[in-house]
């Protein structure tokens, strides 16, 4: 259905308002219309809800989601309405209250066929208020663009406008990091709608450095999803696991080490990330980010790197095979995979032990020679004490010295056992 045809027939009315938009680098002042809600539908290509849409499709193989307004398929809009509401319930409730009190203040942007390009929250709020009955809101106020999203040139124009409106201005902080990373990757690498620099310009960045970093992190996330046997495009799973922080550290350390193409090293990192996630679980993004940052600094950005890759290779294979024994579709499965069999549990334990040992070795590397010399100095100090000096101590000094020597003997025995455990004394 053409909205402009509905303008001609009087169903859609022009308001007194207009708004300036930048379209393909040119500023245009467009009139604002009052459009009945039933003639509009959500944009299934909106980057803000792409991961929610993906997750829905992964669990509803038998459902065909063809974009359509309520007049043609009301279930489509209801599904996407829930995506929008659930993405930020608190913000949505605030928007609903605001529109109840002051009606719609900021116009949206729609295409001639009814696709909502900007204003999803406002559209959602109006739909929910209308269903309440007490506050009928039959219209969505918006500019109408005569563009066709099936046309590649128009699609590029639409995407640039969407980015400018949703990420280049005040709403930018509302984009979930994983949604943003996926949108960058999908727009630049998959659909090739624009270059990294064009994307950066559309969101108000002077250069493409941040966009290119997002692309690299998207590739690493896809590789990691492949490691745990999830679809490479299952970004909803990365969102569940809150991988944006940890994967930012992975990308940063690998780039610094010039090792983004080192498959063996990435497998070791992915096994480490899987183990860490299995231990900490969902909701620990901050702790997990700090943990992986410390670990990678000592295991990747040091001479321990090759020892780590070689020393954990067999255990990584066991962890990888355990993940690939069954397809992973939910983050809760990670810890279950790591505990699936005694063999897997033992591999995880060995991998953890080896990683921790090499991490400590890397931390202490600069002080290892000092450790040996300090032990020797301790012996020299004890040997410098003669029997006459010890016999001359006061009763209190004697008790303190004896207690200290007992502690030294105990501690020395513990250290001796640690050295024996290395196997180097055999």
**Residue tagged 């108000």 (tokens):** 204
Terminal C-alpha separation, the chain: 83
Mean pLDDT score, 378-399: 87
pLDDT at 174: 61
Of 160, 171, 162, 169, whose CA–CA distance to 199 is shortest?
A: 160
The three-state secondary structure class of 14 is strand
pLDDT at 367: 62
Q: Examine the pLDDT at 322 and tell me if it is beyond 60.
A: yes
Q: Examine the pLDDT at 171 and tell me if it is beyond 50.
A: no
Question: Of 171, 204, 236, which residue sits at a domain end?
Answer: 171
Q: Examine the pLDDT at 384 and tell me if it is beyond 70.
A: yes
- Contact criterion met (CB below 8 Å) for 47 and 179: yes
Say what percent of the chain tops pLDDT 90.
Answer: 51
Confidence at 170, pLDDT banded by 50, 70, 90:
very low
> Does residue 423 form part of some domain?
yes
Distance CA 263, CA 267 (A): 6
Say what percent of the chain tops pLDDT 70.
Answer: 93
Distance CA 33, CA 280 (A): 51
Mean pLDDT of the chain: 87
Backbone angles phi, psi at 229, to 5 degrees: 65, 40
Of 112, 198, 96, whose CA–CA distance to 151 is shortest?
A: 112
The three-state secondary structure class of 149 is coil
Confidence at 424, pLDDT banded by 50, 70, 90:
confident
Task: Order across the sheet with 41-42: list the strands.
Answer: 13-23, 26-36, 139-145, 108-111, 115-118, 41-42
> Does residue 132 form part of some domain?
yes
Q: Which domain holds residue 91?
A: 1-171
- Which residues touch 123 (CB under 8 Å, ≥6 apart)? 37, 40, 42, 108, 116, 140
Q: Examine the pLDDT at 168 and tell me if it is beyond 80.
A: no
The tens digit of pLDDT for each residue in 126-163 reads 999 988 876 665 799 999 999 999 899 999 999 988 88
Confidence at 282, pLDDT banded by 50, 70, 90:
very low
Q: Structure tokens of 165?
A: 């409106």
pLDDT at 388: 83
- Share of the chain residues as helix, strand and coil, in percent rounded to the nearest 5: 65, 10, 25
Q: Would you tell me how many other CB atoms lie within 10 Å of the CB of residue 268?
A: 24
Q: Rg of the Cα trace of the chain?
A: 31
Mean pLDDT score, 182-190: 93
pLDDT at 426: 65
> Does residue 395 form part of some domain?
yes
Confidence at 365, pLDDT banded by 50, 70, 90:
low
Question: Of 171, 195, 219, which residue sits at a domain end?
Answer: 171
> Does residue 195 form part of some domain?
no
Query: Could you give the residue ranges of the DSSP H alpha helices within 68-119?
Result: 74-87, 89-102
Mean pLDDT score, 267-282: 85
Q: Examine the pLDDT at 280 and tell me if it is beyond 70.
A: no
Question: Of 111, 138, 171, which residue sits at a domain end?
Answer: 171
pLDDT at 139: 92
Distance CA 75, CA 121 (A): 18
Q: Structure tokens of 99?
A: 């529109």
Distance CA 33, CA 13 (A): 6
> Does residue 341 form part of some domain?
no
> Does residue 115 form part of some domain?
yes
Angle at CA 27, nearest 5°, toward 22 and 32? Answer: 80
Higher pLDDT, 266 or 380: 266
- DSSP character at residue 121: H
Mean pLDDT score, 109-129: 93
**CA distances, 7 to each of 34, 35, 36, 109 (Å):** 10, 9, 11, 16
Distance CA 339, CA 344 (A): 7
> Does residue 348 form part of some domain?
no
Q: What b/e readout covers 171-183, taking b as 16+ CB neighbours within 10 angstroms?
A: eeeebbbbbbbbb
Of 119, 174, 125, whose CA–CA distance to 145 is shortest?
A: 119
Mean pLDDT score, 304-313: 92
Of 130, 174, 163, 156, whose CA–CA distance to 40 is shortest?
A: 130
> Does residue 359 form part of some domain?
no
Q: Please, which residues bridge with residue 248 across strands?
A: none
Distance CA 359, CA 129 (A): 57
* Torsion, CA 218, CA 221, CA 227, CA 231, rounded to 10: -70
Domain count, the chain: 2
**Range name among 25-34, 62-71, 313-322, 392-401 with the lowest pLDDT average:** 62-71
**CA distances, 395 to each of 141, 265, 352, 386, 388 (Å):** 93, 61, 49, 18, 15
Q: Examine the pLDDT at 99 and tell me if it is beyond 50.
A: yes
pLDDT at 53: 84
């Amino acid at each position: 259905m053409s909205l402009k045809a509905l303008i001609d027939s009087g169903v859609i009315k022009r308001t007194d308002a207009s708004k300036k938009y930048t379209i393909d680098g040119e500023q245009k002042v467009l009139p604002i219309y009052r459009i009945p809600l039933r003639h509009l539908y959500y944009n299934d290509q909106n980057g803000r809800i792409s991961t929610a849409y993906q997750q829905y499709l992964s669990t509803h193989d038998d459902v065909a989601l063809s974009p359509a307004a309520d007049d043609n398929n009301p279930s489509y809009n209801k599904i996407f309405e829930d995506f929008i509401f659930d993405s930020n319930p608190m913000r949505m409730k605030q928007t609903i209250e605001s529109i109840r009190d002051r009606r719609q203040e900021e116009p949206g942007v729609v295409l001639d066929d009814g696709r909502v390009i900007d204003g999803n929250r406002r559209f959602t709020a109006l739909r929910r208020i209308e269903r309440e009955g007490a506050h009928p809101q039959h219209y969505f106020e918006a500019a109408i663009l005569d563009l066709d999203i099936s046309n590649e040139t128009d699609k590029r124009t639409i995407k640039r406008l969407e980015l400018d409106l949703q990420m280049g201005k005040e709403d930018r902080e509302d984009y979930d990091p994983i949604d943003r990373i996926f949108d960058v990757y999908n727009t630049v690498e998959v659909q090739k709608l624009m270059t990294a620099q064009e994307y950066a310009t559309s969101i108000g960045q002077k250069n493409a450095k941040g966009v290119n970093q997002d692309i690299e992190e998207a590739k690493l996330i896809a590789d990691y999803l492949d490691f745990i046997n999830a679809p490479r495009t299952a970004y909803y799973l990365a969102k569940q696991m809150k991988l944006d922080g940890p994967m930012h550290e992975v990308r940063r350390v690998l780039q610094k080490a010039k090792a983004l193409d080192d498959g063996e090293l990435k497998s070791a990192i992915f096994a480490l990330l899987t183990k860490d996630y299995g231990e900490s679980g969902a909701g620990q993004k901050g702790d997990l980010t700090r943990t992986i940052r410390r670990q990678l600094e000592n295991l990747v950005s040091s001479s321990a790197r090759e020892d780590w890759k070689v020393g954990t290779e067999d255990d990584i294979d066991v962890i990888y095979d355990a993940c690939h024994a069954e397809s992973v579709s939910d983050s809760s499965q990670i810890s279950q995979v790591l505990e699936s069999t005694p063999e897997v549990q033992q591999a995880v334990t060995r991998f953890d032990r080896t990683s921790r040992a090499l991490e400590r070795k890397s931390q202490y590397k600069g002080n290892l020679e000092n450790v040996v010399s300090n032990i020797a100095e301790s012996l020299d100090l004890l040997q410098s004490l003669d029997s006459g000096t010890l016999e001359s101590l006061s009763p209190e000094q004697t008790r303190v010295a004896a207690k200290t020597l007992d502690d030294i003997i105990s501690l020395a025995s513990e250290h001796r056992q640690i050295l024996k455990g290395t196997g180097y004394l055999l």
